[in-house]
Structure 1
Amino acid sequence: SSKLKGSEKKKAEFSGETVLPILFKPEALFRIRPITRASSTLEGHQGAILDLAFSPDGQYLASGAGDATLRLWDLNTETPIHTCEGHKDHVLFVAFSPDSKLVASGGMDKLIYLWNSETGDRMGNPLKGHTKFVTSIAWQPMIAQKNDERLMASSSKDMSTRIWDTKSMTCLRILSCHTASVTKVLWGGEGFIYTASQDRTIKVWNEKNGSLVSDLKGHSHWVNTLALSTDYVLQTGCFDHTGKHYSFMGDQAKMMDYALERYKKARDPRGERLVSGSDDNTMIMWQPSQSNKPVQRLTGHQGQIIQVCFSPDSYYLVSASFDKSVKLWDGKSGKFITSFRGHVASVYQMSWSADSRMLVTGSKDSTLKVWDVEKRKMMFDLPGHSDEVYCLKWSPDGIRVASGSKDK
């Protein structure tokens, strides 16, 4: 009889009118295998490796180092193919063009060089203009290119951001409103260029004429890093896991159409979301196309925030900090989800797998760790480096992770 009573009670709780909210997240259409071991050690640099970049088409890896060289590696054979020499000081930043044909490198020597990724040849003279070292480089996304133009933005410690035409090798305009070093530049898909600075502000610029669109204020200390919810699709353009790009290689119009199709799927209907991370231990989420007021302030870290990163599907956001933790947030609302703890020193870098299921982190403690985001736990601990891990990237095709360290 007690069982009967129990079942009657359940029936009373659920009538035909009961509304049950069901939360769901679309399943990944493809799955990336976790990284479990080092497949090869790429030796050659004589100085600490300071930045890495995979080409969007997944063919090459570029590395910039303290020995003033840029090296290009063939990913199919995992061997070096070109050593690009020209810089007079540390190479701080490397970035591939959206079609993977060019790679740009910026250094302590205030110069930016362009290299042909296939031949390793230097394209003309270096781009001169910055009066202090180059802090970051952002190429104009494929979806924003018009009339076969190839533009690029670079930020510097000299408080300015410069827009370059890489075909005529000239500086088109200088964006200068910041009153301290510009730490990061991002080129969005909505016609805006975003710059973060040690003057505690983020500025939004019009990509066409270089005019200042808005000033995002809210941080009380240096702004170190920026991330856009559409970063992944903007950086990979028409190249994705389907391999569809092989069918229209060389056809610029088809490549742009497919890049635009991917961007529209990834973009939030209300516009791109921007997140800034600062030395004030907080992050702020913005919706620059809607307003210059913060959408959400993300607090919880006990140390300076060194990197923020949206997952490729933009559902999640992760932040790395000097407090040795990595925190996971809801990429849409900015709500805190969980902390990944395991590193015993500052976490410097993070990178997502293309299917947004896994995250790899690199730390001052010389290890890499792979995390399962759904299960919220560590999958693998990857030792191998003998010193701090400075840079880390997961390839767009998901097959490899590259890590660069002070151990050269």
Structure 2
Amino acid sequence: MTTFSMLLQGTKRWFIPMKATRQRYTFYSLLVIMSSLWMLIMFLLFGIYSQYLRIDFDKATFAVSALLHPSTYLNKILLGSEQGTLQLWNIRSNKLLYSFPGWGLAVTTLQQAPAVDVVAVGLVSGHIIVHNIKFDETLMKFQQDWGPITAVSFRTDGHPVMAAGSPVGHIALWDLEEKKLMCQMQDAHSTAIAGMTFVPGEPLLITNGADNALRVWIFDGPGGTGRVLRSRMGHSAPPTKIRYHGQNGEQILSAGQDGTLRSFSTVHEKFNKSLGRGSINKKKSKKKGLKLDTMALPPITAFASEVAHQSDWDGIVACHQGYITCTTWNYQKTSMGAHKLRPEEFSKRKPIDIYATAVDITSCGNFAVIGMSTGRVDVYNMQSGIHRGRYGKETAHEGAIRGVAVDGLNQLVITAGSEGLIKFWKFKMKDLVYSTELSSSPSGILLHRDSGILGIAFDDFTISVLDIETRKIVRTFSGHHGQINDMTFSPDGRWLITSSMDCSIKTWDLPSGCLIDCFLVDSAAVSLTMSPTGDFLASAHVDDLGIYLWSNRSLYSLVSLRPLPADYEPSLVTLPSTCPMQDVDVSGDEEPCDEMIEYISPEQLGEQLVTLSLLPESRWKNLLNLDIIKKKNKPREPPKVPKSAPFFIPTLPGLIPRYIPPEEETDTQSKVVNLGILAQKSDFYIHLEEALSTNEYKAPLDLLKSLGPSNIEVELRSLAPEGGGSVEVMLSFLRMIGMMLNKKYNFELAQAYLALFLKLHLKILSSEPKLLEELSKLSMHLEETWIHLQALFNQSLCVLTYMKSALL
């Protein structure tokens, strides 16, 4: 993958070579696996990550069906079998310690009681045996009429209560002191109870079932019954269609094969919502209950949502599998809406062979456009549910409607028919504007309203992009080898992401018309949707209850978006799962991702281009104004140090004491210093001298670039003979400037250094013929360079002016 990557963290994994894993159990640092091959395999979870023990059983005599580590039994494990017998094993010495005769019925579950040596044994007949394994004695026996015992748990907060689960979703609570049934919690789950556990020391029971629900029950009411404290639920059947709801990219609407419509939050699970299950008559459905609901609608096959006016009326419309009526839903109330949208002539009778196939909502949220299997397209008002007209005299298309879309301004309605036509209609007048014939029968359409581009999926596994302004096909993509299940646009309309039954997910770049990303998944993606913010791609897959989020890596890292070659072999991406992977050996190394290598720009892109030095302006811009800067920074009056008076004031000898006047200093020696005698040669000076013979000026230039403005002035002053330099070194400096102008490299530095050099040594330059000749060459070269540079400036300005003023 290059564009999208799964939100997975690397962990240590083991892959067990088994046909199926029936049960897993952990205690201490061991993981115990019970397989359908009637063997137990134990692994060390910490340390060496290796197999600890393996025990094989004969299926005919002892087929393991349940396991438990009894409390305080060190290195012991209790096993139950389908034959009804129990065995106690020492896993350290790999020895059978004791065999319990059992009750002649298959053991379904084992659970430790709060009392030591006591366990609860659940049987396939619905019996619960509370047994003392130390003395092999049965303490009490219970029976429930809902089938085999699926789970057992004990309260540990001081109440002698045992809970038992059943395959029909009911929970029975037994009073251990009175040895009788205390109460029942019917329909705790819609399917079998898979597991239950009381929180230690708390009146809380956690249950999960095959209905993909996890519930926490609190026992604080009279009669000992429990109520739901909190729950987490998902679809009990795989999703059929998912779409982002709203513009913040935080909610995903999902329709499942279980007939429910749910909202999943990408921020936190506590924001998840269930909009319920579609029903023909909600009042009758509530009276009959969920399991006996004969009014339930078929699963949703397509839906559309809009946040505009969703607080005023229903903002979601959905069509159901093989059903003519479309339902409205209210996101704010999290329930099915009040309107059922269907043609007026079918209000009393409901034909079996006519059903809704496509739906869309206008951006204002006022109207819904619905396409039928007969080719009919109708418009309904979302607020009142009243029919507002239809497109075409009788039908809009001769074949079934495969897709409908409304533009962002409510001006055009685009419809696609199975006969291979795309038609454009005036939204208000219902008149046909334009019709175009396609190369194949379309299977679905998707409109990106902001950019006005329409994605069309065909039955021949190709995808086309149509511009609704010009009404022409602008892009055609091929590469899928199966039915196109769904497609989605990126928020900016640059990418089109498609999924197919060939288990591939591909990303097409519309401006370049190329495939930029492709990867395979284990099961085909039936639906795709991309976040309005562009950070996540959500996918739903065949026979999978979950919705998977893929992060857009191009938002936070450098990703190569170059076109993929025609012979590109996509890699298989394993979806995250809680189930053990079988017969697979995967190394811990991650697949190297095709990220873009950061481009490092060379110092000079081309010799014909003028290249700057990238030094800050403070290093060269004020070289000509250093004397002004020094005058401004110079203090007005230097600080005066007070003269220290002597302790004994000197006097002249005589009768009248007189002070000795201070001696006046006389200049007996000249203060003019010959710098040429005292000056030492600097590194810059030495490099310039060497360049006279080698003609290599990189070293003196690099040294000069590393100096500050004041040091640069000192170095240039020292080049003159009066500063300790020579005419030859000054000539070498001018040649260095000529080299910089010739290569068009460090162009602004050459101008600044040359200007300062001319300011400091103008008198000497005018009196030396060698220097004058070199200066004339520099002047001609500099003039040619500026003429070339000015031509480039004029060309760029001309193009920019044309682009700004031309009508494109």
Interval containing the TM-score (normalised by the shorter chain): 0.5 to 0.7
Cα pair 1:309 1:318 within 8 Å, conserved: yes
From 222, 225, 241, the equivalent of 1:51 is 241
TM-score when normalising by structure 1 = 0.64
User: Within 2, Cα distance between the matches of 1:310 and 1:117?
Assistant: 24
From 150, 155, 162, the equivalent of 2:378 is 162
In the alignment, what sits opposite 1:96? Answer: 305
1:224 aligns with 2:446: no
From 314, 318, 326, the equivalent of 1:105 is 318
Q: 1:141 to 1:385 in 2, by over 3 A?
A: farther
In the alignment, what sits opposite 2:358? Answer: 136
State the Cα distance separating 1:207 from its structure 2 match: 1.1
State the Cα distance separating 1:197 from its structure 2 match: 2.5
State the Cα distance separating 1:159 from its structure 2 match: 1.7
User: Within 2, Cα distance between the matches of 1:379 and 1:359?
Assistant: 17
1:201-280 superposed matches below 5 A: 201-220=421-440, 222-230=441-449, 266-267=450-451, 272-280=452-460
In the alignment, what sits opposite 2:178? Answer: none
1:47-84 CA deviation, whole Å, 9 max, x = no partner? Answer: 44323344316676544333444445676614445424
User: Within 2, Cα distance between the matches of 1:169 and 1:71?
Assistant: 23
User: Within 1, Cα distance between the matches of 2:448 and 2:253?
Assistant: 24
- Pairs aligned (count): 305
Cα pair 1:372 1:379 within 8 Å, conserved: no
Cα pair 2:520 2:573 within 8 Å, conserved: no
1:90-139 CA deviation, whole Å, 9 max, x = no partner? Answer: 22233323324422232132112223322245543411227522223211
Letter of the 1:139 counterpart: I
1:8-51 CA deviation, whole Å, 9 max, x = no partner? Answer: xxxxxxxxxxxxxxxxxxxxxxxx997448xx985365544323
5+ residue gaps, structure 1: 1-31, 231-265, 387-408
Cα pair 1:34 1:358 within 8 Å, conserved: no
From 340, 343, 357, the equivalent of 2:518 is 340
Letter of the 1:83 counterpart: G
Q: 1:372 to 1:224 in 2, by over 3 A?
A: farther
State the Cα distance separating 1:140 from its structure 2 match: 0.6
1:144-189 CA deviation, whole Å, 9 max, x = no partner? Answer: x7xxxx1111122232221111222111122222122212212112
- SS of the equivalent of 1:77 reads helix
State the Cα distance separating 1:355 from its structure 2 match: 4.1
Identity %: 18
In the alignment, what sits opposite 2:490? Answer: 311
TM-score when normalising by structure 2 = 0.34
RMSD: 3.5
- SS of the equivalent of 2:390 reads strand
Q: Answer 1 or 2: which has greater helix percent.
A: 2
Cα pair 1:62 1:94 within 8 Å, conserved: no
In the alignment, what sits opposite 1:302? Answer: 481
1:323-334 superposed matches below 5 A: 323-333=502-512
User: Within 2, Cα distance between the matches of 1:93 and 1:154?
Assistant: 11
Cα pair 1:325 1:339 within 8 Å, conserved: no
In the alignment, what sits opposite 1:258? Answer: none
1:283 aligns with 2:463: yes
Letter of the 1:204 counterpart: F
Q: 1:204 to 1:359 in 2, by over 3 A?
A: same
Structure ranking higher on relative contact order (CA contacts 8 Å, 6+ apart): 1
- SS of the equivalent of 2:479 reads coil
User: Within 2, Cα distance between the matches of 1:98 and 1:369?
Assistant: 22
User: Within 2, Cα distance between the matches of 1:358 and 1:93?
Assistant: 21
Letter of the 1:229 counterpart: H
Q: Answer 1 or 2: which has greater strand percent.
A: 1
Letter of the 1:295 counterpart: V
In the alignment, what sits opposite 2:501? Answer: 322
In the alignment, what sits opposite 1:83? Answer: 276
From 386, 391, 398, the equivalent of 1:179 is 398
Cα pair 2:240 2:527 within 8 Å, conserved: no
State the Cα distance separating 1:320 from its structure 2 match: 1.8
Q: 1:56 to 1:350 in 2, by over 3 A?
A: same
Cα pair 2:519 2:572 within 8 Å, conserved: no
Q: 1:286 to 1:381 in 2, by over 3 A?
A: same
Q: 1:353 to 1:330 in 2, by over 3 A?
A: same
1:373-392 superposed matches below 5 A: 374-375=559-560, 381-384=574-577
Q: 1:95 to 1:117 in 2, by over 3 A?
A: same
User: Within 2, Cα distance between the matches of 1:47 and 1:361?
Assistant: 15
User: Within 2, Cα distance between the matches of 1:163 and 1:105?
Assistant: 14
